């Protein structure tokens, strides 16, 4: 029996970080330290009483724009059958077509798209991964939040040890500083500390092609699981060249905001690891579309951030993925992810398996109701 979307509640949430964090973009003067995460939450309710929850996010800029855009176009979803997710998605795209099909426009739509997938899985009384079709019940997990550049090497080592003791299986640290020798010294110290533990590095787009080739060559000695964003995120040809030149895998894709932008990597012959981010690419619907193409191209997967969403999506990927652990969003939810033995386990709860906390409500700056 069909149902229909009766009401949407949009929430503009600002989550302060306990301490400002810096990656290479800060040390090169391109950005300020990150002090907060801005989120757009959507709660959807149907005429039949079913509910779903989704979110997207922004860092440093764009949060109010996401809220404003979705508030402007969301009414086209009212009265629609929530089972027809892609049909609704296309209607939302066309409602905001004058501002394009990537960036803020699709990141705003992403929050509603995630909520509809959550609703569909809850209505089926299945975890989202099971609704889509899971290949595994858990995924390898690595931590990033302890490896930022404002932290000393000793702090990075201490946080890495704490993460491993908490059951996390891999550690990622930031590189890309103005003095490349400092990067190598820090990587060497952390590699010595971690021994055989999987270790990844992330340059956050701060090398040009010549520096990236030199750094990738130097970093080959450290048995890294991957080198992330050595080049500008939109340099598909450059990333492809590095992925075909070095033994250490190259990883990129987190900053891309549409399926066509990701496809440019495949078209360029990229052979590395793809890191799509569901809230950034426009939601679960386009994420799954690209994941099918990435799998066909034989690419490995390691989704960026938003583990509460990506755990489910990674579990549906045919080959063994990685999931990124950030504890930053945890206060916004009542439930916690299950991490043990180097893996993150898919919740047995229906949908995404998360409900919104009182803390999320307290951090909400503005809400809007769409529908009666």
Residues designated catalytic = 174, 304
Is 120 annotated to bind ligand? no
Picking from 202, 134, 198, the residue whose alpha carbon sits closest to that of residue 168 is: 198
Counting Cβ atoms within 10 Å, is residue 278 exposed (0-12), middle (13-18) or buried (19+)?
buried
Q: Dihedrals φ, ψ of 291, to 5°?
A: -60, -40
Is 334 annotated to bind ligand? no
Is 157 annotated to bind ligand? no
The rounded distance, in Å, linking the Cα atoms of 105 and 249 is 32
- Burial track 161-196 (b if 16+ CB lie within 10 A, e otherwise): eebbeebbbbbbbbbbbeebeebbebbeebbebbee
Residue with tokens 């003791």: 165
The rounded distance, in Å, linking the Cα atoms of 354 and 347 is 9
- 3-state class (DSSP) for residue 139: strand
Is 217 annotated to bind ligand? no
Is 359 annotated to bind ligand? no
Picking from 284, 371, 314, the residue whose alpha carbon sits closest to that of residue 110 is: 284
Picking from 309, 263, 315, the residue whose alpha carbon sits closest to that of residue 290 is: 263
Is 36 annotated to bind ligand? no
Q: In the chain, helix, strand, coil percent, each to 5? A: 40, 25, 35
Is 320 annotated to bind ligand? no
Q: What is the DSSP letter of 344?
A: E
266 to each of 192, 203, 231, 233, 263, how far by Cα in Å?
35, 21, 16, 14, 5
Picking from 67, 53, 51, 40, the residue whose alpha carbon sits closest to that of residue 6 is: 51
159: tokens are: 């946080």
Is 23 annotated to bind ligand? yes
The rounded distance, in Å, linking the Cα atoms of 145 and 207 is 22
Is 25 annotated to bind ligand? yes
Residue positions forming the annotated binding site for Mg(2+): 202, 228, 254
Residue positions forming the annotated binding site: 23-25, 59-60, 172, 202, 204, 228, 254, 324
Residue positions forming the annotated binding site for substrate: 23-25, 59-60, 172, 204, 324
């Amino acid at each position: 029996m069909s149902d229909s979307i009766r009401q949407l509640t949009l929430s503009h949430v600002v989550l302060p970080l306990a301490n400002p964090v810096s990656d290479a973009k800060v040390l090169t003067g391109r950005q300020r330290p990150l002090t907060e995460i801005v989120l757009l939450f959507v709660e959807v309710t149907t005429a039949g009483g079913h509910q779903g929850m989704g979110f997207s996010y922004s860092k440093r800029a764009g949060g109010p724009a996401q809220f404003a855009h979705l508030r402007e176009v969301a009414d086209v979803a009212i009265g629609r059958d929530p089972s027809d997710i892609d049909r609704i998605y296309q209607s939302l795209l066309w409602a905001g077509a004058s501002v394009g099909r990537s960036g803020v426009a699709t990141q705003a739509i992403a929050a509603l798209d995630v909520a509809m997938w959550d609703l569909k899985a809850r209505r089926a009384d299945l975890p989202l991964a099971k609704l889509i079709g899971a290949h595994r019940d858990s995924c390898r997990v690595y931590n990033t939040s302890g490896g930022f550049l404002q932290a000393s090497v000793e702090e990075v080592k201490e946080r890495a040890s704490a993460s491993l003791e908490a059951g996390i299986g891999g550690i990622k640290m930031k590189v890309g500083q103005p003095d490349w020798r400092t990067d190598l010294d820090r990587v060497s110290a952390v590699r010595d500390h971690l021994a055989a533990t999987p270790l990844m590095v992330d340059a956050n787009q701060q090398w040009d092609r010549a520096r990236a080739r030199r750094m990738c060559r130097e970093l080959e000695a450290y048995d890294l699981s991957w080198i992330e964003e050595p080049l500008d995120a939109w340099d598909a040809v450059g990333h492809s060249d590095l992925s075909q030149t070095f033994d250490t895998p190259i990883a990129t894709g987190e900053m891309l905001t549409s399926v066509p932008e990701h496809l440019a990597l495949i078209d360029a012959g990229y052979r590395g690891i793809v890191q799509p981010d569901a809230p950034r690419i426009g939601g679960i619907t386009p994420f799954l579309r690209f994941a099918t193409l990435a799998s066909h191209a034989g690419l490995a997967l390691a989704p960026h951030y938003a583990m509460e969403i990506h755990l489910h999506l990674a579990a549906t990927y045919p080959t063994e993925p990685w999931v990124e652990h950030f504890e930053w969003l945890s206060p916004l939810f009542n439930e916690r992810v299950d991490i043990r033995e180097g893996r993150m386990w898919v919740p047995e709860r229906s949908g995404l398996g998360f409900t919104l906390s009182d803390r999320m409500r307290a951090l909400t700056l503005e809400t809007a109701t769409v529908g009666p």
